[in-house]
Structure 1
Amino acid sequence: MTGNAYAWVDFYSQLADELRAYRTRRTELYAIAKNAYAGAGMGLPKLETDGETVEMDPFTFFALFNRGLTTANRIAIAQKLHDAFALKAPVPHAFAGVPLANNQKTTFYWFKPGRGEHDIDNLWHLFEAALDFADSPNDETRTRFADAFDQVRPQIGIKWNITMGLFWIRPEHYLTLDGRSRWFLCQPECMPKDFINQAKLLFDRNETPHGTDYMHLIDLCRAVLNTGSYEYTTFPELSDKAMSQSEAVNQQNKQRKSQELSGNDTVRRRYWAYRPGPRGELWDECVKDGMMRLGWGDLGNFRSIASRKDIQAQLQHDYPSDTTQTNNSKAIWEFSHIMKPGDVVFAYQGLKPSEILGRGVVKEGYRYDPDREDDHRNARMVDWKNLGIISIDSQVSPRKTLTDISDKIELIRQLDELYADEDTDDTPIVAQESYSRTQFLDDVYMNGQQYDDICAVLQRKRNIILTGAPGVGKTYAAKRLAWSIIGEKDEDRIAMVQFHQSYSYEDFIMGYRPTKTGYELHEGLFYSFCKKAESDPDNAYYFIIDEINRGNLSRIFGELFMLVEADKRGDRYAMPLMYGNEMFSVPPNLYLIGLMNTADRSLAMIDYALRRRFAFIELQPGFDIPGFQKYAASLGNDQFTALVTCVKSLNDTISKDPSLGPGFRIGHSFLCGLTAETATLDTLEGIIRYELAPLIREYWFDETEKAGKWIEQLEESLR
């Protein structure tokens, strides 16, 4: 390891060696950490529920100076630790490539009472096993490390952050898999394809890897770095590159996002203070389930009560009290009708309104759980990203269950600053490949005017159906249309389904499915995607329905068909679902793109209800579009050119045929995807024999002589 930027490696390794002696002297280790902070003029962050920590694990100890602090403060703390342990390595003055713990996730253990009895012991065991394996790698130490890793893996508070802790204690031996590194390791320009495929298998599980899988990835990565094919040859250098490159991408994305939003109306984000039970007793459950819950379950589904005044009256009847129930009725009404996905929630300690438990973002709409046994049957899904108790100078709420604090600008500013570090270790940074109008027109053989018209109609109507003959590229065009409007190839904001005669409301929206023990309510694809779009109101989402006219639309959409109309979107027009006791609406930022093959003889006339709610756009064969002509010229193949000319003549005949018409013309996609090497005579003959000829025979099934004549002409065009 060379260069002053990585001088910290020796310091970190020596510090880890010194910590071995403190496995049974944890109170002393805590005192050292507290004194180091005090010597740097800082107060130690809260590390336990009661405010007094007598337990300390080595990974949390390292996190105390590898978190969101200024470089000056990190150096000052490192100096105190250097003196306390009499380290020989110099105090680092730069920390290139050192990943940081989130300020609200400093500890590697869970606060009491949620922590397991042996959680901190297990962390010490992993720490020692990791040092032994790094310093003396053999089968025995490797197995011991894998077992210790797997023992820690399921503990609350342990995710990908454990790999970051291992990196700190032996930077040259353990690979950090924080969010930035996971993103970097999957970039084609950063690592070879074979490695990326292996890494994605591990990362796509969306769970902390097992010890053997983690070590296998380390071995693969080390082998790649040892080839010398990349500018980074060590794990610290790789981490440094991941941090710098991901930050550059983040800045580009933020700038683009700012440009996209400028001049547009955005949904107002509200801020809420939430008390998870009178004494905070629901907090652990909320974090575990990713939810926030309200009581008063005997009222039933809050959405079924017409007004706040009616809620207040029912509260007074079902929950008799000396109060007027004004605050409670307001909390219930706001929870079920005002709160929106994207809102920010600060959970606070029930008896201590100045003590914040965590920060979350509302992900889904209101839901009622009638099968829950206790009173807390009302819920919303929340992504609790920032955890850890912090104290503020003022009370976040006057001890109410739910309070809208959106107008408390100074309080929000204070809380946002405390929770400013949003690059959590378990959230990978995703940099999507950009995709533009120009790229669309290069990929999809359509003229620019039609593309602009389609985008304008989709924006206005919210729902379109792309129709056309076989092979005009409807499915291919639909996804790329969505990409081009989004501006990048973001698969998370696109969903696709294919309708068929057996497809039902239960598949699409919600319904009961058999299980081993009975029946279970299952959310359909459209319902889930609507909830996803609802949780991200600033971005557009696209739902593509292939073969839309093959399904029984009344059966599939049921009572919700009206809600897809452009002027019937949002909570204002919410309707009760057939299952689930929930009011449901289609969010305004969701766009429907249906696909329909006009040459399908088996289909009945299109339902008028479908025609009224969708705009219909016919896609034409693109043989005369400049993009296709450029593609044909790139093949340099006279036989291909002759075949295209013959297909165009065939299309003229099909268009004039009274029993067929323009909707039956042959599309250009039959002849796409070839290269100069693959556009051979055998390939072109195969396209005619196995793709075009069967279609022509179906078109003129009652005119076999005519069909045979055209098949022969296509074959002759290649001679």
Structure 2
Amino acid sequence: MKSRLKNLYKYLIENRKHEVKGWYDAYREFYGQVEQIRKRIKSGEDLSQTDEAFLKQLLYEKSNGIASRGQSVLSNENFQAFIKNKDFISALGEFIQTPNKDNFQKFNDAWSDQGKSNNPVLVNRVAAACTLEVSATVDSGKFNQVFSWLIREGIIPAYPAKEDQDWYSKNIFLMKIIKDEFRDELQYKKTDEFYLSQFVWMLYENLSNPFSLKKQIVKYGAPGTGKTYQARQQTSLLFDIWKEEFAPNSALTHASQIDLVQFHPSFSYEDFMEGLRPVLDCNGTAQLTLQNGVFKEFCRNAGKWEIDVFSLGLDRDWESITIDELHSHRKKLSGDHWQYIFKISDTSKLVSDAVPPFFFIIDEVNRAELSRVFGELMYCLEYRGIKGRIKTQYANLNNEGTGMLQTDQGYLFFIPTNIYLIGTMNTIDRSVESFDFALRRRFRWEELTPDTGLLRYHLTQFCKTWVPLADDLERLNTQIAKEPLLGHDYQIGHAYLMNLKYATSLTVAEVRERVWDDYIRPLLQEYLRGTGKESELINSFGKEFGV
């Protein structure tokens, strides 16, 4: 149990500090402001309307460094009424001074007594700003998902039924367990309470709110926003977490479970699924022979487990079968790919969870004629697993070497449930219309925007004197987004300013000029070609970037 908690922390925080460092810094900074207010209150100075800027960040702002307010909204009128109410300010001051369960309840009651707004997320966010005894996962519904998942997986002990079942009490229970587990790391400053608090949210994003619900994704955005890189990173994370739980001693690696193909205008169904291709026979004569495409062969490999279970003739849905239910069939399930599954000690686990994830990344997914490439797979994309099996165009030519699922109807094809299909596309590409509405609704769409926080973290590690480039890029992108001839989709991705090959002895002004000349100006010239405003806008954008 304990080692698994630490392994999850390694995957979600240690290996991804470049993603959470911006939040971490803001979290610490605002928590420090609360500490200063606490000292004032303890010295006898009460909160008042003169603290409006602090109170606005604590109670009102969309994001205050601790957490976002989510869907909760507090109007400015109600905010002003809150800070003018002596009882409310008194309850808030008491909680800031002594953040405990009783004072939190008094503050919660004072909020409710206003009768103007019911905002549990905002109330919980105040608690997270005032004490590290609770986590920054302030939405009680999302926190409960994490909490229940950790208990269900046996990672933390069950929460006593006799204890209070509210968000604050459960948080204290969870954070105490986490801090006890990381006692040595806290002592030797290998982590701190802010990272441990963030850890709870990362568990929500990646586990209790599982990636498995998003098995068909298109990551889209401006060039240079790291779409393919992020796809690889996220799949690596998911694989590491799966392996740590189910097959820690297996020879499986992330590299063995992933394939990547780049679409282009001439990419076809025959390349993707199957088709007739010339093959030399033993006499050196070319014969047209059925050959599997890259995706079908990938599915044949990933679907071994489902195919084996289907052959048993069980009248059960694949995603409801436990490992224990298959133990009586071990003689028939004798392939090497079953060995690690039957070694899993918790036989109540679902077989569908225990089989390894497979990842198929389609780079530039919109550059091919998708209806032709996917063909009849539109049905399989909507109905995963053997229940979604279909006949392909060349079904009658399939044999044991090319077929997937042999049935009384011949060889059928399906997309296994353990495949994650991830496409990437640039929104400025004019071929975006290749995604028709029927295909669009079969994918989850995730936009990636330029991440100046990530760029700032990278530059801090690489060459601190170049950090102002992140602010330069942010100003430039703000101007590009406002320009009617370009807009949001034409922003410059942060990747253009990462992994720069210039000597670190160069000043930030020198690097800025070189980045502009080598990367950004040529790109903007291409975007603006033929508009008649190239020179005017290039000069304007250059000033925003600082050249």
Normalising by structure 1, report the TM-score.
0.36
Q: Which has the higher helix share?
A: 2
Normalising by structure 2, report the TM-score.
0.47
* Higher radius of gyration, 1 or 2: 1
Bigger relative contact order, structure 1 or 2 (CA pairs below 8 A, ≥6 apart) = 2
